[in-house]
Amino acid sequence: MKYLVALLLLCWSTAGSAAELAPFTSDGCSAFPNGTPQNQNLWLTCCVRHDFAYWKGGTEQQRLDADLALEQCVAKAGEPTIASLMLQGVRAGGSPSLPTTYRWGYGWPFGRGYQALTTEELAQVKAQLEALQAIISEVTETLKNE
């Protein structure tokens, strides 16, 4: 009985606390080319932006918005047919219920699904962004001095 009480207390004490957000990662266009043979990184920036949205996750509508933004970005790069194909791919393969490294909300532990980010989770996203910005600034400064 005391083990049951201890287990219930443990579950109660961790309920409501946000999970920890893993550091942002991007693999570019996830098993899809980052561009054409002539310009191999033509829509890479589009995919990294899309990865950022998928990393932090959120609601089902936010996922749809992120997917449509990817399509628009690639189309704006001059590849509307590829943009449409990519939209179909991310709609089919980006579900939060798939245990992949590129699922919706992949920065959070598996099983989160579609949920609006809490204030605490948004603070984690902001902190990670600030850390990334600091790294980018440092690297940019180093490159200027070389």
Confidence class of residue 113 from pLDDT cuts 50, 70 and 90? Answer: very high
Q: Is the pTM of this model over 0.75?
A: yes
Query: In whole angstroms, what is the distance from residue 102 CA to residue 95 CA?
Result: 9
Judge whether 113 lies within some domain. Answer: yes
Judge whether 15 lies within some domain. Answer: no
Instruction: Using alpha carbons, select from 47, 43, 60, 45 the residue that is nearest to residue 105.
Output: 60
Confidence class of residue 37 from pLDDT cuts 50, 70 and 90? Answer: very high
**The amino acid at 46:** C
- Give the mean model confidence (pLDDT) for residues 45-52: 97
| Residue 105 in this model has a pLDDT that exceeds 60 | yes
Structure tokens at 102: 């590129």
Domain count, the chain: 1
Residue 127 is part of which domain span? 25-134
pLDDT at site 8: 32
- Give the mean model confidence (pLDDT) for residues 119-144: 93
Question: What's the mean pLDDT when you consider all of the chain?
Answer: 89
Confidence class of residue 6 from pLDDT cuts 50, 70 and 90? Answer: very low
Q: Are 77 and 53 in contact (CB under 8 A)?
A: no
Judge whether 58 lies within some domain. Answer: yes
